[in-house]
Amino acid sequence: MTPLVLLPLLLLVACGASEDALDTGVAAAASELSVAYDAGDGSAPVTWTLICDDPVSGSHPDAAAACAHLQELDEPFAPLPADQMCTQQYGGPQTARVTGRWAGEPVDLGLSRSNGCSISQWEGLVPLVPPGT
């Protein structure tokens, strides 16, 4: 075989071998989140972890309720459509960022209470985030 034909074959074999070598039998949780919450009142932001596996775990104050609620939602971390019309109301200074994985998919969602759409999105994720005030 010529080196140009052999090289792609070697790369394929190497990729398969390295994947097998990395498989340790310990899988990462398909739903593992980090929630960074800022109350917006001058207090220090807090970060919680949430692992919706069996058993539910993490530092979230109500991990079981948060996981149960999220599992009921079709697309809990879908971003708001860019062209959505929203009422111009203020729901409070709270912000949050949710990162990690949900159902095996990456999550990176910023939340606020800056308009009607954002308030609705926030309230739809309670108890993952605290209810607004």
Residue 132 has what pLDDT? 82
Q: What residue numbers bound the domain in which 64 lies?
A: 25-76+86-133
Classify residue 5: in a domain, yes or no.
no
- The reply to whether 20 falls in a domain is no
Question: Are 34 and 99 contacting, i.e. CB atoms less than 8 angstroms apart?
Answer: yes
- The verdict on residue 2 lying in a domain is no
Nearest Cα neighbor of 100 from 121, 73, 72, 128 is: 128
Output the domain CATH number for residue 66: 3.30.350.10
- Compute the distance between CA of residue 70 and CA of residue 64 in angstroms, rounded to an integer: 10
pTM > 0.85: yes or no: no
Domain annotation covers residue 7: no
Q: What share of the chain is helix, strand, coil (3-state, %, to 5)?
A: 30, 25, 50
The verdict on residue 19 lying in a domain is no
CA distance 125 to 27: 26
Evaluate whether 46 touches 55 at the Cβ level (below 8 Å): no
49 within a domain of the structure (yes/no) = yes
Structural domain total, the chain: 1
Q: Which amino acid is at 20?
A: D
Residue 12 lies inside a defined structural domain of this protein:
no
The series of mean pLDDT values per 10 residues for the chain, 133 residues long, is: 43 39 54 97 97 95 98 96 95 97 97 97 98 81
| H-type alpha helices, 44-115 | 63-72
Residue 1 lies in a domain: no
